[in-house]
Amino acid sequence: MFPVSDKAKTVVDALKKYAKDMGARAIQDEVVSVTKTESGFSLRLKDHGRLNCDKVIIATGGVSYPQTGSTGDGYRFAKELGHTVVSPKPSLVPLLAKGSIPKKLMGLSLKNVAIFISDENGKKVYEDFGEMLFTHYGVSGPVILSASAHLRDFGQKKYTLSIDLKPALDEQTLDKRLLRDFEANLNKDFLHSLDALLPQKMIPVIIENSGIDPRKKVRDITKEERQALLLSIKNLSLELTGTRPIAEAIITSGGVSVKEISPKTMESKLVPGLYFAGEVIDVDAYTGGFNLQIAYSTGHLAGISAAEEVIS
């Protein structure tokens, strides 16, 4: 659900107003350190000196989108207070691919394609169906971002991305389609026979992969060559070499260990009065609102739990 204005600021302003109306006081400053004291906590602020408080909720996010303030300070606070932090890694992030194909197809968006990612042993790691995008460095788009959540071992493993450009057609049906298109373009150069089947930008890449001379007349293409073309369309392969930087990731995987946090209250099991919420915790999910839900649910629970203990 979106506000009528379609602006995120409207949501922020509504939450700020609600907090203010309920008596909350906002101090905009940088927290330098968080120290446990006998009566609660002492926060050292960059511009406002020290702030003593009964409870502390660390909701500083991960290290994705650092321009929003998520610079990893929460991990440092947690470590200094004795918590274990699972090393942050990028998730829901564009992927790097080897070779010239991404640059040749840069800016091309594909809909209704199937992807299959395997490791060096041919074992399936992930598969999906939907939209993707080619970039100068590799691939992006919804199915790629979701796939990135499963690719955590770059350096130790080799991953191959296979793209089926026509997943709705099995090989036999696609072959019949190719025969129809060839029949309608018998006297044309092969290069000009695929306009009805593939995006214009994709045609040179598929032809190169097939190994067929682009200037060969369609009437002279052999059955073997047609099979090579079919394979290029059903299995366009790219070697994946890594991810874009974590600063470009939609979310951060890793964070404060969930084993050290009570799921009923979001309170630390190690430090009474300390709570965690949102992406600073080692919890992440696919794109589609799930990570926002994690933030909302843990934030609400941490706030309610901390307030109830103070009030009681």
Q: Does some domain include residue 123? A: yes
223 with 107, same domain: the answer is: yes
Per the prediction, the chain carries an average pLDDT of 95
C-alpha dihedral over 230, 150, 67, 47, to 10 degrees?
180
Is beta strand 274-276 parallel, antiparallel or unpaired with respect to 56-58?
A: parallel
Q: Is the pLDDT of residue 309 over 80?
A: no
Mean local confidence (pLDDT), 10-20: 94
Residues 127 and 198 in one domain: yes
173 and 224 share one domain? yes
Q: Is the model's pLDDT at 232 over the cut of 90?
A: yes
2 part of a folded domain: no
Spatial neighbors of 210 by CB under 8 A, at least 6 apart, are 225, 228, 229, 231, 232
**pLDDT over 90 (residue 74):** yes
Predicted pLDDT at 63? 95
- The domain tally of the chain equals 2
Helix pair 223-234, 203-210: axis angle to 10 deg: 130
The confidence band for 2, taking pLDDT boundaries of 50, 70 and 90, is: confident
CA distance 260 to 78: 11
**Structure tokens, 96:** 């790097």
* Distance separating alpha carbons of residues 266 and 59, to the nearest angstrom: 11
Note the pLDDT tens digit of each residue in 245-267.
999 999 999 999 999 999 999 99
Residue of 291, 235, 244 lying closest to 144 (CA atoms): 244
pLDDT of 288 reads 81
Task: Specify whether 143 is located in the same domain as 232.
Answer: yes
CATH of the domain at 176: 1.10.8.50
Same domain, 173 and 50: no
Return the closest-CA partner of residue 41 out of 33, 304, 258.
33
Q: Could you tell me if residue 268 is inside a domain?
A: yes
Task: Specify whether 233 is located in the same domain as 133.
Answer: yes
Q: What gap in Å lies between CA 84 and CA 88, rounded to an integer?
A: 12
Q: Which token pair is 112?
A: 């209704």
- pLDDT band for 312, please (50, 70, 90 cuts): low
The model carries a pTM of 0.83
CATH label of the domain that carries residue 25: 3.50.50.60
Percentage of the chain exceeding pLDDT 70: 99
Q: What is the mean pLDDT of residues 204-227?
A: 96
Q: What is the pLDDT of residue 263?
A: 97
CA-based radius of gyration for the chain: 26
Work out the average pLDDT over 94-100: 97
Task: Name which of 152, 242, 113 is nearest 105 in CA terms.
Answer: 113
pLDDT at 211: 96
- 213 exposed, middle or buried (CB, 10 Å; 0-12, 13-18, 19+)? middle
- Alpha carbon distance 106, 94 (integer Å): 13
Q: Residue 36: exposed, middle, or buried by beta-carbon count in 10 A (0-12, 13-18, 19+)?
A: middle
Sign, CA dihedral 240-119-146-77, equals negative
Residues spanned by the domain of 299: 8-90+251-311
Question: Domain check: are 49 and 144 in the same one?
Answer: no
Residues of the chain with pLDDT > 90: what percent?
A: 92
Q: Do residues 21 and 35 share a domain? A: yes
Co-location of 231 and 267 in the same domain: no
Q: Which two tokens mark 305? A: 């739990």
8 A C-beta contact, residue 230 and residue 171: yes
* Within-domain flag for 15: yes
- Which parts of 94-236 fold into alpha helices (H)? 101-104, 142-148, 171-184, 203-210, 223-234
Does residue 219 lie within any of the structural domains?
A: yes
Could you tell me the pLDDT band of residue 152, with boundaries at 50, 70 and 90?
confident
Per-residue pLDDT averaged across 157-164, rounded? Answer: 97
Question: Are residues 107 and 208 located together in one domain of the fold?
Answer: yes
Segment 188-208, tens digit of pLDDT:
999 999 999 999 999 999 999
- What CA–CA distance (Å, rounded) separates 164 from 238? 12
User: Please, are residues 271 and 256 in contact by the beta-carbon 8 Å criterion?
Assistant: no
Alpha helices by DSSP H, listed for 110-257, are: 142-148, 171-184, 203-210, 223-234
